[in-house]
């Protein structure tokens, strides 16, 4: 297990409802090529914060990669609406490009 994964796993163990620790663990798991393990942590982040764009993008990309296209599309479309509402032009452009080829 990588040091970053271990570090954030310890934080999640100490505070399992902390979505920031969960998000950091998910990012560490993705960096360690452990995408499937990151999914439940990103799902918790999405469930806890309706206006948090980045977990939706990451989760949508992971679901798309794993063949869960319908679920991925819903998340990525939600993320696109958040990107537009929050003036994240680069993210909006990236999401439009992903959605266009789905």
Residue 1: is its pLDDT beyond 80?
no
- At 98, the pLDDT band (50, 70, 90 cuts) reads very high
Domain boundary assignment for the chain = 1-49, 50-102
Residues 85 and 77: their CA atoms lie apart, in Å, by 12
- At 101, the pLDDT band (50, 70, 90 cuts) reads very high
pLDDT digits (tens, 9 = 90+) for 18-71: 999 999 999 999 999 999 999 999 999 999 999 999 999 999 999 999 999 999
Closest to 21 (Cα-Cα) out of 42, 50, 2, 49: 42
Q: What would the two tokens of residue 99 be?
A: 């959605």
Residues 36 and 49: their CA atoms lie apart, in Å, by 21
Q: Can you give the pLDDT at residue 99?
A: 97
Cβ atoms of 57 and 28 within 8 Å: the answer is no
Residues 64 and 102: their CA atoms lie apart, in Å, by 9
- At 79, the pLDDT band (50, 70, 90 cuts) reads very high
């Amino acid at each position: 297990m990588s040091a970053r994964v271990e570090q954030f796993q310890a934080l999640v163990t100490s505070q399992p409802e902390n979505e920031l620790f969960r998000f950091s663990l998910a990012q560490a798991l993705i960096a360690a090529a452990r995408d499937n393990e990151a999914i439940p942590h990103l799902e918790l982040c999405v469930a806890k914060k309706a206006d948090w764009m980045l977990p939706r993008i990451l989760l949508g990309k992971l679901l798309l990669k794993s063949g869960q296209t319908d679920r991925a599309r819903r998340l990525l479309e939600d993320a696109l609406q958040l990107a537009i509402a929050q003036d994240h032009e680069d993210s909006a452009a990236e999401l439009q490009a992903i959605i266009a080829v789905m």
